[in-house]
Amino acid sequence: MTLTPDTKKRLVTAALVAPASAWLFVFLVLPFIAIVVFSFGERAPEGGYQAAFTFAQFANLGSRAAAFKNTLVLAPIGAFACLLVAYPVAYYLAVKASPRHRLLLVSLVVVPFWTSLLVRTYAWMYILGARGIPHLLEFVGIENVRLLNTPGAVLLGIVYGYLPLMIMPIYVSLEKLDRRLLEASADLGARPLSTFFGITLPLSLPGVMTGVALVTILLLGEYLIPQLLGGGKVFFIGNALVDLFLQSRNWPFGSAIAVTLVVVVVIVLLVAMRIAWRVAGTRQVDLV
């Protein structure tokens, strides 16, 4: 039997894609199916999962309203704060920095990722704790300042921890910017601010949307930063999942929350892609 070139091409493509597809199916699709099945079950008397078919777990989502509220409020605020800090840095790296120093500066942005987030978060616990900034403020007469275990501390940890993930997509988008467009705008008498809002910002929006979507999606499942810098007072959905699966051993309720979180993540991703495509027009937008 002789295979046509198209058939051979399809077989080669299938052979190349098969290992990755099998990996994703075993380690992503199957666990998610198990979580969906658990979400319709009941908690066994000794904890864990007991087979059933009920929507009671989803009806009980309101009992974790505080975790959903903190996550759905602080995650977008944290992503926006990251954007406010990241855009000027990415703009300087891509447009203003000399090519000779650019690689070094980009490396400095990535360097924090070489250290564990746990270690970096513990460092912020010391800085914001009683022996850190509040202790220094006492020398200038400002007493009883509490920075740790507050929403502000969590936001600060979010910005510090996720800033590189926001900078890099914006930097890549700006780095591809055609400098001739900026020169043409200046030659036509446009002011720098008009050039920025009329050319630079619109052309960098795909990178902005990629960074915002990436950071927001990761923050929706964040556990470590709220746990350490929030001190259990600023509860995210990730903290609720740890409590339900490992402490309360209420696997069905935890699964219902996890499924709801996945739905929220998908909605955020679809909305971000729609906004990016609408704003960027026909330019390519990669959010995944």
- In SS3 terms, 182-219 reads as HHHHHHCCCCHHHHHHHHHHHHHHHHHHHHHHHHHHHH
The pLDDT of residue 78 is above 90: yes
pLDDT in tens, 177-233: 888 888 888 888 888 888 888 888 888 888 898 898 889 889 988 999 999 998 878
Residue 171's CB: how many other CB atoms inside 10 A? 27
Instruction: Say what the pLDDT of residue 266 is.
Output: 87
pLDDT: is 8 or 53 the higher one? Answer: 53
For the segment 107-126, the average pLDDT, to the nearest whole number, is 87
The percentage of the chain sitting over the pLDDT mark of 70, rounded to a whole number, equals 95
- The per-residue pLDDT of the chain, averaged, comes to 87
Name the residue ranges covered by the structural domains of the chain.
Answer: 33-110+151-280
The pLDDT of residue 285 is above 50: no
Confidence of residue 168 (pLDDT cuts 50, 70, 90): very high
Instruction: Say what the pLDDT of residue 1 is.
Output: 57
Confidence of residue 158 (pLDDT cuts 50, 70, 90): very high
Q: What is the DSSP letter of 45?
A: T
The pLDDT of residue 17 is above 60: yes
Q: Which of 151, 167, 246, 253 is nearest to 208 (CA)?
A: 167
CATH fit for domain 33-110+151-280, picks 1.10.340.70, 3.30.1490.20, 1.10.3720.10, 3.40.50.300: 1.10.3720.10
The pLDDT of residue 140 is above 80: yes
Instruction: Say what the pLDDT of residue 260 is.
Output: 93
